[in-house]
Structure 1
Amino acid sequence: CELGLQLRDGNDLLAGLILQDAQRRSVNVRVPVLFGRRSEAADRFEEVRMIARASVGPGVAVVFRCYDDAVAFRYEIGLDGSDGAEGGIAIADETTSFQTTGDPTAYVQYLEDYRTSHEHPVMTASHGRIRSGALLDLPLTLMWSDGTCAAITEAALRRYAGMALMRTDDGALRCRLTPREDGLKVVGPLPLRTPWRVVMLADRPGALLESETIYCLNEPSVIGDTSWIRPGKITFPWWNGDVYDGRRGEPILSVAMAKRYIDFCARTGIPTHSMTSTEETVTPWYVQSKPGVAPGPDTDVTRPREGFDLETIREYAESRRVRLWTWVHQGALRGRVEEAFAAFEQLGWRGMMVDFFDHDDQETVEFAEAILQAAARHHLMIHFHGVWKPTGLSRTYPNLMNHEGALNLEYLKWSDRCPPEHDLMMAFTRLIAGPMDYHLGGFRAVPRAQFSPQNVAPNVLGTRCHMLAMYVCFDNPNPMVADYPTAYEGQAGFEFIQDVPTWWDDTRVLVGEVGRLLVTARRKGSTWYVGGLSAGAPRDLTLPLDFLGPGRHEVRLWLDTAESGNDPNRLIGETRTVRSSDSLQLHLATDGGFVARCK
């Protein structure tokens, strides 16, 4: 790779530097992971810190780390107390670039602009045929013909601009920072640490999904007492059209409808119910006369809208031991973050989705961190939507549950742009970076030929077992149960949604084929859960069970049936007794899947 930071005056900060010292250290510790792929992560690396200085200006260090599954580096400016370190810095560009060998296959998400929700299809191209001059989202996954894989991304994005890549005419993948309104990329005081630039490496695609390196590259939690952070499954009526039984009835924000949903949660063990907006001319739950979700002149997130009796609903939810979650447009928080979160705490919200960032310039990145800080002070958990990929910040702020930053199942309300092969593309690109909110739980699957988008009671593509498997295969400690209650109760497979954990003690990817197949095993306590996602034609799968411990195990299976190709909602349940030396012989239908629980 090439290194470089261009300053406002056009000079490269690294030009003319003289190496002063090279500091080395080895680290091999285990760090706790609160709500992730495993309960502990191995933070094991070799580090060298190259310290350099010019005759004038701040000192610069480039820090390199080598992990078992990644290499990472960052720039540190003005940390040595040298002359010039007391001032500020204005970065006009970062000229870091990456060179590849050979002509690997690239799995690319093209960005339309720096202003983006990061919701795009994944395109497959050889490295040499990536469009020159186009913005490429991260992670960018590369795979060579021998099965070797790499993913380029960033970690610990704080007080800096978000990074994309751009292929240059000579084939390099060059860093592109999102510009501020004044055209500069980063402006601020010294000292400054940039985010880590990370190249994850593996001999198989699935290993990229087992890595904890992005998490480990972040600072430990700044939240002392985390006992109030309690993830779990969450309703999301907006996805189903704000209905209870598939038809429009009482308003979704009415006391009557809220009580029905809260009763459903209490009855089925779903810990949290979300309330976001009115169903007709969608308008937020808070005071706002302007139609639509974008804030207007009188928007006030500290007060519920007229007719929304939040106090009565909260009291009822507390009596049923169900938590309440909500939604807010990020623009409505501007200039009043602390005031807003103090009010949210008093109103009884336990968490919220903050939406429509659509930008990752330095100011927006800093604003998002200010939201996490205020939310932590007032004991609220956070989802970020319309936002960039995760960079591991949930280690520093464990109240950050997930990011969206993915074209996901909400798109089936108005398009056919989220078919099963897209699920399998997201798994090997966006999911590598961390927890992904994907609007899970659709229970009305139809064959592709019969699909048409609809806003109320939307249909999904892929079998019901495919839908169930995403609860295992996709990292997310706070996943949605997004369909309406009567779509679930009494339906085959809902018992698995009720039972499956949302964070884990261990994770192993057993099978991984980009865009085609993913089988993931995750352990909670002594119980293993296995999920398999498939796209395209039916397939038979032999699955060794060598991840199980010694002795006999009872395996409960939810499987596609012979009829699932024509009726994707069909599944069959089986119970088998197995040993770790056994293998499961499984048949996956068209766009199918399976789930298993092994005790």
Structure 2
Amino acid sequence: MIREVWIGLFLMVASCAFATGEKVFRLGSPDGKLEVAVSVGRQVTYTLTRDGRVLLDKSAVGLVLGGTENKIFGHDSRFIRKKMRSGTEKIISPFYRCPSFTVEYNEMSLSFKESFTLVFRSYNEGVAYRFVTAVRDSLTIQNEVAEFNFDRDYKTCLAWSTAAEGKDPYAMAFQNVYEKQTLTGLDTGKVAFLPFVVDYGDGVKLTVTEADLEGYPGMHIKAGGQKKQLKGVFAGYPAQMAYHPWRHMTYVAERSNYIARTEGTKSFPWRVLAVSSKDTEMPVNNLVYALASSNRIGDYSWVKTGKVAWDWWNDWGISGVDFKAGINTQTYKYYIDFASENGIPFIVLDEGWYDPYKGDMMTVVPDVDLPELVRYGKEKQVDLILWTVFNVLDEQLEAACRKYAEMGISGFKVDFLDRDDQTAVEMVYRIAEACARHKLSLDLHGIYKPTGLNRTYPNVINFESVFGMEEMKWSTVEKDMMQYDVEMPYIRMMAGPVDYTPGAMRNASKKDFKDIYYNPMSQGTRCHQLVAYVVHDSPLTMLADNPTVYRKEQECTDFIVKIPNTGFDETRILQGEMGTYIVTARRLGDDWFLGGMTNWDARDVCLDFSYLGEGNYKAVLFKDGVNAEKQATDYKKEELTVTGQSRLKIRMAPGGGFVISITKK
């Protein structure tokens, strides 16, 4: 009887497929674990499985055309042909978590009579798809269909837009703590930004993000309620712009009823579906970088990375000097002196070196002698980075790049884009290209998550889009930074590097933490701050506290500046669990830098050094002190000898961490 039922079901499904003309095309990963099955019928859908387990149930894709086209690529589309190929690519990755890496993939291209192709790629680390169009005329994209359907009510981890109620949900700084909720428990009225994670249990997770975002709006996510569905949503194309008086920053005053206008022949962004079988694979997943367009600037030997003495977080808060600290030449010479003494290659002049109300970055305020600071910095082997607002730079792009490159400025920290609609994304590419021509580096703040721009333009050396240390100036302890710190490396860092701005020397337990604007502190211990310089992928990293404090804490300062930012031969996640703790190791030649951080739970970890080569190694360890649970600044420094046979047990205090440098004797 059971056999007869199964035969009947099979015949029914087969007859339905025959009746609708549906075709199913399958693509496996090189290791055979992942499979995407694409169904081409009235609607193009795909299913994603891992070892036969459904990760994504039949999910629709499509491009909804506006204007006179009045059609949907992916709906009632006429299939022509399938093309299969396999590839192996060695990718050179400057200023990344490793100098190069190799990927294998299988690719399936499905072409349609309506002059578009749907391309799927399957890697061992995940699957990606994109639309490629070959239409003679330009296209107006009314919307994009991007469904993520699930067979069960799985847990998710995502970050919501922080736009105020009633305001544009697509206008945000792309930084918030994560919410963990089941699919059906998610708020259907909110918009989330990428990346997001779905947890299937047994260690298996799906992370959704995008790569090669160019000339097109970024994707956001809305929940489908009881449908167990997430779907992509997109900001409308700006119809009218306006200015905020403060900072002369533009914002979208009115949006169109379509999302993009593009050329007819275009490769659209990759939708990235990264699959991990254990959490330690997540921070070192390379799909976003691998799927981005390759280097467009050629030689990048002029690009510099490293640590930065930063003024804004500590509010120019130096003391014990005989001049008024603030945005003036004397203060910045003090920062340059501090940077020079400690081998720090940069200082940044954050907001205030030009009048933000006027929006004219060609005119420096009278209290800052910028040419003199550049001269003084060169004398001390310290370069200057200038803060500015995205649209302010864009409106004076060629003139500003030429003037400050000729003056000897190293690059710009560009802030307050706060959107990712098509025109915002186009602005980012325009700025990256112009700065590359003038040999200027970029640190992008107030921006959407990385989508591989740092591969295409290697002069883009860092991105914010992270709930970083700046938030501690005004957030209460309810914003659980310790929880975020052991979620973010698994989720956000998969997309690319982070300008988290660590380095606080005022540290507080959960009970003692306060938001103090002029003298801010960190949640968690001193060692939690130190290890951020190892855990974070960050080619350009701020020292967020002020030089006066760092000079009083010289032992910690020396250790921070010793940790390299880039040039690592490899990066490994030795242990960890998303939302609980992480232990990262980075190798540079025979030397290693490793460390771990935990949430507000105290934790013991046992380190295994079997990855070391032959011989003895000198290890310098900074770990939480025995009283760090109450006195978060308490730490202990130890020097010891380790070998490949050594084992070491370390206790992390609540909100704590440890960090070790290992040098071959």
Contact 2:318 2:325 in 1 (8 A): no
Counterpart of 1:109 in structure 2: which amino acid? Answer: A
Where 1:143 maps in the other structure, the secondary structure is strand
Contact 1:64 1:72 in 2 (8 A): yes
Shift of 1:344: 2.1
Alignment of 1:296-445 (within 5 A): 296=358, 299-416=359-476, 417=479, 419-445=481-507
2:653 matched residue in structure 1:
589
Counterpart of 1:171 in structure 2: which amino acid? Answer: K
Contact 2:469 2:500 in 1 (8 A): yes
**Structure 2 residues without counterparts, runs of 5 or longer:** 1-58, 164-168, 239-255
Q: Does 1:463 align with 2:519?
A: no
Counterpart of 1:179 in structure 2: which amino acid? Answer: G
Contact 2:198 2:206 in 1 (8 A): yes
Where 2:194 maps in the other structure, the secondary structure is coil
1:5 matched residue in structure 2:
63
Q: 1:30 to 1:453 in 2, by over 3 A?
A: same
Alignment of 1:483-522 (within 5 A): 483-491=545-553, 492-503=555-566, 504-522=568-586
1:266 matched residue in structure 2:
340
Contact 1:545 1:583 in 2 (8 A): yes
Counterpart of 1:273 in structure 2: which amino acid? Answer: I
1:578 matched residue in structure 2:
642
Q: 1:574 to 1:586 in 2, by over 3 A?
A: same
Q: Does 1:124 align with 2:180?
A: yes
State the distance in 2 between where 1:422 and 1:453 align: 17
State the distance in 2 between where 1:349 and 1:339 align: 14
Contact 2:293 2:452 in 1 (8 A): no
RMSD of aligned Cα (Å): 1.7
Where 2:601 maps in the other structure, the secondary structure is coil
State the distance in 1 between where 2:644 and 2:88 align: 31
Counterpart of 1:106 in structure 2: which amino acid? Answer: T
State the distance in 2 between where 1:208 and 1:271 align: 31
1:152 matched residue in structure 2:
208
State the distance in 2 between where 1:509 and 1:66 align: 24
Moved more, 152-161 or 569-578: 569-578
Where 1:220 maps in the other structure, the secondary structure is coil
Counterpart of 1:173 in structure 2: which amino acid? Answer: L
State the distance in 2 between where 1:458 and 1:332 align: 29
Contact 2:509 2:629 in 1 (8 A): yes
Q: 2:143 aligns with which of 62, 75, 93?
A: 93
Q: 1:184 aligns with which of 228, 245, 258?
A: 258
Where 2:60 maps in the other structure, the secondary structure is coil
Counterpart of 1:256 in structure 2: which amino acid? Answer: Q
2:270 matched residue in structure 1:
196
Q: Deviations over 1:505-562 (max 9, x none)?
A: 2111112222220111111222111120111122211122233223332222111111
Shift of 1:489: 2.2
Alignment of 1:236-275 (within 5 A): 236-245=310-319, 250-275=324-349
Q: Which has the higher contact order (CA 8 A, sep 6+)?
A: 1
Q: Deviations over 1:292-347 (max 9, x none)?
A: x4x44xx3212212232111111111111110011001231243322221122123
Contact 1:243 1:249 in 2 (8 A): no
State the distance in 1 between where 2:552 and 2:466 align: 31
2:599 matched residue in structure 1:
535
2:55 matched residue in structure 1:
none
State the distance in 2 between where 1:552 and 1:105 align: 45
Where 2:221 maps in the other structure, the secondary structure is strand
Report which of the two has the higher share of strand: 2
Where 2:171 maps in the other structure, the secondary structure is coil
Moved more, 178-187 or 365-374: 178-187
Alignment of 1:197-212 (within 5 A): 197-212=271-286
Contact 2:509 2:655 in 1 (8 A): no
Q: 2:633 aligns with which of 569, 576, 596?
A: 569
Where 1:237 maps in the other structure, the secondary structure is coil
Q: Deviations over 1:44-65 (max 9, x none)?
A: 21111111113xxxx1011111
2:309 matched residue in structure 1:
235
Contact 1:246 1:457 in 2 (8 A): no
Contact 1:103 1:144 in 2 (8 A): no
Tell me the TM-score normalised to structure 2 length. 0.84
Alignment of 1:48-127 (within 5 A): 48-54=108-114, 59-78=115-134, 85-111=135-161, 112=163, 113-127=169-183
Q: Does 1:28 align with 2:88?
A: yes
Where 1:253 maps in the other structure, the secondary structure is coil
Counterpart of 1:145 in structure 2: which amino acid? Answer: G
Shift of 1:382: 0.7
State the distance in 2 between where 1:405 and 1:2 align: 29
State the distance in 1 between where 2:464 and 2:376 align: 30
State the distance in 2 between where 1:330 and 1:93 align: 26
State the distance in 1 between where 2:139 and 2:110 align: 20
Q: Does 1:548 align with 2:605?
A: no
Q: 1:247 to 1:239 in 2, by over 3 A?
A: farther
Where 1:370 maps in the other structure, the secondary structure is helix
Counterpart of 1:127 in structure 2: which amino acid? Answer: L
Structure 1 vs Structure 2: percent identity of aligned residues?
Answer: 29
Where 1:410 maps in the other structure, the secondary structure is helix
Where 1:2 maps in the other structure, the secondary structure is strand
Shift of 1:4: 0.8
Where 2:118 maps in the other structure, the secondary structure is strand
Aligned residue pairs total 575
Where 2:109 maps in the other structure, the secondary structure is strand
Counterpart of 1:527 in structure 2: which amino acid? Answer: D
Determine which structure has more spread, i.e. the larger CA radius of gyration.
Answer: 2
Contact 1:412 1:418 in 2 (8 A): no
State the distance in 2 between where 1:5 and 1:248 align: 64
Counterpart of 1:358 in structure 2: which amino acid? Answer: D
Contact 1:160 1:361 in 2 (8 A): yes
